[in-house]
């Protein structure tokens, strides 16, 4: 193998599994260490920099970081990353003085955003400090998009939502409520230099079965949740069937339980391993005594004299056919009584307000054709992001889309090449503080993931406004921050210093290290101290070592970043170095790498800035 190029920020970034998995590349171990130091403001700002909505996401994120967490590879459960994000948000003080200054002298460029959801808000946050004038058109009388209309208050209290949205609106965003954009052509005729479409995926999917339109007790999940949010709906019948088993279905069934539904069933076509809902949302629903019924495929709404009686289902079983596709076999039929049915089987984008001749191309599913890199549609100056771009995703994706679209809009307004993305940089600073002192806590101790405490069942089902999760207490927080393995403290190797004494290999508790003769990757992976079988994880290969021309090989898979290799290295060939990804945002270019949101240097000492 060629020697590994650790100068490419991607190499060390990938070692930080959580950060790599996060669409917005939030510096997870960094903020967890700040929480451990009780620097909650700093921890909050480190989040805010990349994911914009720490308090909201600390309650609602889909957590792509957690399944990726390295802890899963040595223990059963990941660090409760999402919960710790909420700790940072709960315990922060007034962070407003630390927000970027908004120039009084504007740069003369005007940007229109459609919809006041997380994607548009992120675009506004990234562009306002650069002197842009941003106008957001919102069809409702308040901002937030799906964060407000579709996430029930018992999961996300409104005050948390409004506070973080206000941080952005208070930058001087011109937000126009009750102002649905009804014509793209009209919008394009206005005096805007660029348009960002962040209007989400507002159309719930239909279930066209017999009886669908014979009653008014069948609701579309996202529309129904919106009506509940606005207070238009405040009750439901006792027997409720929710069709679909994604996260929206979970919100629908749990909301039903609070406004009159006593017998609420979630009806799933497939079996549990194929459920789309996040495991923790399923658990929370089951805790609230919602029945989740698997392998029931709906066939008919049973309506008698305009009154909904229930639904017929086929009981099915699933198996993979020769092509590896899942197919069902009908076993039996059954009837479930219900007075109300909520359809939560997916949602899609809808652009009735974009005219065919507006210059924006659509594909055969009526989705806008959007460039994956630049986020620009086929019409110059019109950008898409969030669910509006490629269909339903999560808030964290919307934030990242917003960042990327903002970079593009900035480049577009300056007449620059949109495809030339500002490069990522990194800082790599030694974590060595003294002969045997490191700037992080590297003791590994086995510890179970702490469980979030919930408000008592009887109490929480009384009101839709009672937040279920109570947040972490101090013991839970301290345990969880210590569970983090500090994957961003990288094992950094300098081959020219190595005397091949084997000290690192002998001490490594996870058998990650080997000195051996170089070879092709597949073959090399088989003859390490412990075979490197997880091919999703890289192996590091050094240059040829001075004494024997062999190479140092490290399997990144199971390293727990304890630092013993560096501790036992007589020549400092191994060093532990804090990796800090410098992710570019709008307005930062190669010459001006990002300087951070006023967070003091996390590691002392000089730093090495490495460019790819």
Partner 1 sequence: MTYIAKPRVFHPSLEKNELGLTRRDYEGVMSTLCAGCGHDSVTAALIEAAWELAIPTHRAAKMSGIGCSSKTTAYFMSESHGFNSVHGRMPSVASGANAANRDLVYIGVSGDGDSLSIGLGQLCHAVRRNLNLLYIIENNGVYGLTKGQFSASADMGSKSKRGVPNEQPPIDPALLGLSIGATFVARGFSGDKDQLVPIIKAGIRHPGLALVDVISPCVTFNDHVGSTKSYAYTREHFREAVEAAFVAPKDFVPPADEITADIGSAEVRDVRMHDGSVIRFRQVEGDYDATDRDAVYGYLRERQNAGEVPTGLLYVDPESRDLHDVLGTVDRPLWDLPFEELCPGSEALDALMENYR
Interacting residues toward partner 1 by CB under 8 A: 73-74, 436, 442-446, 499-503, 505-507, 509-511, 530-531, 533, 547-548, 558, 560, 562-564, 567-571
Task: Return d(Cα 169, Cα 165) in angstroms, integer.
Answer: 6
DSSP class of residue 156?
Answer: S
Could you tell me the sign of the dihedral formed by the alpha carbons of 401, 403, 406, 412, in that order?
negative
Taking every pair of C-alpha atoms in the chain, what is the biggest distance, in angstroms?
90
Q: Least CB distance from residue 32 to partner 1, whole Å? A: 19
Nearest to 126 by CA among 399, 416, 426, 417: 399
CA distance 337 to 155: 29
Contact 308, 218 (CB under 8 A): yes
Phi, psi of 85 (to 5 degrees): -60, -40
154/540 with CB nearer partner 1: 540
- Least separation in angstroms between residue 513's CB and partner 1 is 11
CB of 569 to partner 1, least distance (A): 6
CA 424 to each of CA 373, 415, 562: distance values in angstroms, whole numbers, following the listed order:
15, 22, 27
Q: How far apart are CA 5 and CA 371, in angstroms?
A: 30
Least CB distance to partner 1 at residue 87 (A): 25
Q: Do residues 62 and 396 lie in contact, with contact meaning Cβ atoms separated by under 8 Å? A: yes
244 vs 205: CA distance, rounded Å: 11
Bridge partners (DSSP) listed for residue 260: none
Query: Closest approach of Cβ 533 to partner 1, in Å?
Result: 7
Phi, psi of 129 (to 5 degrees): -65, -15
CB of 576 vs partner 1, minimal distance in Å: 11
With respect to partner 1, which residue has the nearer C-beta, 286 or 500? 500
> Between the CA of residue 407 and those of 32, 128, 403, 587, what are the distances in Å?
28, 12, 6, 7
- Nearer residue to partner 1 within complex by CB, 1 or 497: 497
- Taking the complex as a whole, the smallest distance from the CB of residue 499 to partner 1 amounts, in Å, to 5
Nearer to partner 1, 567 or 589 (CB): 567
Measured CA to CA, the distance from residue 294 to residue 122 in angstroms comes to 38
Nearer to partner 1, 210 or 531 (CB): 531
Q: Report angle CA 145, 146, 149 to the nearest 5 degrees.
A: 95
Compute the least distance from the CB of residue 271 to partner 1, in Å: 28
Identity of the residue, 349 or 442, whose beta carbon is nearer to partner 1 in the bound complex: 442
Work out how close the CB of 493 gets to partner 1 at its nearest, in angstroms, rounded to a whole number.
15
CB-nearer residue toward partner 1: 442 or 477? 442
Q: Which residues sit opposite 114 in a β-bridge?
A: 137, 197
Strands (E), 210-356: 218-220, 239-243, 263-267, 291-293, 296-304, 307-320, 326-337, 340-343, 347-348
CB of 35 to partner 1, least distance (A): 22
Tally of CB atoms within 10 A around 332: 8
């Amino acid at each position: 193998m060629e020697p590994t190029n650790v100068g490419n920020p991607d190499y060390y970034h990938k070692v930080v599994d959580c950060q790599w998995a996060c669409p917005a590349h939030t510096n997870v171990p960094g903020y967890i260490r700040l929480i451990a130091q009780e620097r909650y403001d700093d921890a909050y700002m480190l989040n805010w920099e990349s994911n914009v909505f720490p308090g909201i996401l600390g309650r609602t994120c889909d957590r792509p970081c957690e399944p990726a967490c390295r802890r899963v590879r040595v223990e059963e459960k990941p660090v409760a990353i999402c919960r710790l994000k909420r700790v940072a948000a709960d315990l922060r003080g007034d962070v407003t003085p630390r927000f970027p200054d908004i120039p009084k002298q504007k740069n003369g460029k005007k940007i229109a955003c459609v919809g006041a959801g997380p994607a548009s808000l992120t675009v506004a946050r990234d562009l306002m400090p650069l002197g842009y004038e941003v106008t957001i058109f919102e069809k409702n009388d308040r901002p937030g998009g799906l964060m407000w209309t579709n996430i029930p208050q018992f999961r996300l209290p409104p005050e948390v939502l409004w506070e973080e949205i206000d941080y952005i609106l208070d930058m001087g965003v011109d937000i126009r409520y009750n102002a649905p954009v009804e014509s793209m052509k009209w919008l394009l005729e206005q005096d805007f230099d660029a348009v960002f479409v962040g209007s989400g995926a507002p159309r719930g999917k239909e279930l066209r079965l017999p009886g669908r339109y014979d009653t008014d007790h069948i609701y579309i999940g996202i529309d129904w949740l919106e009506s509940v949010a606005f207070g238009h709906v405040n009750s439901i019948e006792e027997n409720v069937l929710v069709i679909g088993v994604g996260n929206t279905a979970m919100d629908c069934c749990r909301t039903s339980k609070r406004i009159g539904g006593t017998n609420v069933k979630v009806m799933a076509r497939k079996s549990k391993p194929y459920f789309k809902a996040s495991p923790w949302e399923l658990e929370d629903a089951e805790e609230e005594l919602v029945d989740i019924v698997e392998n029931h495929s709906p066939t008919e709404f049973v309506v008698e004299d305009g009154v909904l009686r229930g639904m017929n289902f086929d009981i099915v079983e699933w198996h993979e056919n020769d092509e590896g596709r899942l197919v069902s076999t009908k076993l039996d039929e059954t009837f479930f009584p219900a007075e109300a049915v909520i359809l939560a089987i997916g949602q899609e984008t809808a652009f009735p307000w974009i005219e065919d001749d507006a210059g924006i191309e659509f594909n055969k599913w009526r989705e806008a054709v959007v460039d994956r890199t630049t986020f620009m549609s086929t019409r110059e100056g019109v950008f898409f992001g969030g669910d509006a771009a490629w269909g339903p995703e999560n808030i964290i994706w919307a934030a990242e889309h917003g960042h990327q679209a903002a970079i593009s809009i900035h480049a577009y307004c300056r007449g620059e090449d949109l495809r030339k993305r500002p490069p990522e940089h990194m800082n790599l600073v030694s974590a060595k503080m003294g002969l045997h002192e490191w700037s992080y806590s590297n003791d590994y101790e086995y510890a179970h993931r702490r469980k979030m405490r919930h408000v008592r069942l009887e109490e929480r089902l009384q009101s839709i406004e009672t937040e279920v999760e109570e947040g972490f207490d101090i013991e839970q927080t301290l345990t969880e921050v210590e569970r983090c393995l500090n994957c961003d403290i990288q094992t950094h190797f300098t081959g020219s210093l190595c005397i091949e004494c084997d000290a690192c290999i002998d001490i490594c508790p996870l058998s990650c290290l080997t000195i051996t003769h170089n070879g092709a990757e597949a073959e090399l992976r088989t003859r390490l101290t412990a075979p490197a079988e997880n091919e999703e994880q890289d192996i590091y290969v050094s240059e040829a070592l001075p004494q024997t021309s062999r190479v140092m090989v490290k399997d990144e898979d199971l390293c727990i970043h304890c630092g013993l290799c560096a501790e036992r290295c007589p020549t400092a060939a191994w060093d532990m170095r804090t990796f800090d990804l410098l992710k570019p945002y709008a307005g930062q270019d190669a010459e001006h790498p990002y300087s951070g949101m006023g967070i003091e240097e996390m590691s002392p000492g000089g730093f090495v800035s490495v460019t790819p």
